Structure 1
Amino acid sequence: MSTTAKIIVVSVILVPLLYIGACSAISHQRDRGFAQVKEGDTEQQVIAAMGEPSDRETASNRLAKYGLPECQAPCVQRLWYLNKLGLVGEAWSVELDASGHVMHTDHVLSP
C-alpha cells in the first residue's frame, strides 16, 4: 500500500473518531458545569461554572430555539450554551431574573 493510500485510510478512520471525541467532550464539560448551577446563583457564578454563553436571549432578542417558550417575566434573560458539534441539537439554558439570579435551568435535546 502506498504512503498516500495509508494516509487516506488513517484519515478516514481518525477524523470521525476525533469528531465524536470532541462532541462528547463538549457535552461532558457542559453537563459538569450545568450540574453546578443552582437556583439563586448569580450570572457571574453561571459563567464561572459554564463559561461564556453561546447566545443570550431577551424579550427584545427572541431566539426560537428548541421549542422553549419565550423568556417571560420574571425571566429577563436566557443564557444558551450549545454543543455546536453535536449531530442532534443539544443545548443548556439558564434563565435569569431582573436581579441577575438564576430562576430556571433546562437541558434540551432536539432531533
Structure 2
Amino acid sequence: MIRRLAGVLWALAQTLPDPERDPDLGPFCTYLRQKYGRHALDLSPEVWEEGLLELIAETIAEGWDRYGAPSAARDPEGEGYIASAEVGPETILARGQTKREAYREARRAWVRRLLG
C-alpha cells in the first residue's frame, strides 16, 4: 500500500515544475530533500517509498513518546472494556466486548489522528 502511494506521489511530483512549492506535496518533498540531501525530483520511486515509510514511522514513534499508547480496562459502567488514548488535547475513547477489541479500536483512532 505504501509503495503504491509513494509511487503516485512520485509520479505527481514529476508533473510539477517545483513540487516543493506545491501546498500539499511541498512539505513531503522538503522532508525528502532534507533527509537525502537531493532535490525530490532527483530521487527514485524506491527512495520516495523509503522516505514515506520513515516519515510514517517517525510520526508514530514521536506520538508514542509524547502521548503514550492507548490503554484498556474494564468498563466501569457496563460490560466489556473501554480503551482510551490522548493526542494533544483530544481524548479518544473506544469500547469493545474484549480488552483486545477495545484496544485495537483506540489504537486505530490514535494512529489516524497522529497521521492526519
Identify the TM-score tier after normalising by the shorter chain.
0.3 to 0.5
TM normalised by structure 1 equals 0.32
Question: Would you tell me which structure has more helix in proportion to its own residues?
Answer: 2
TM normalised by structure 2 equals 0.31
- Structure with the bigger RCO (C-alpha within 8 Å, sep 6+) is 1
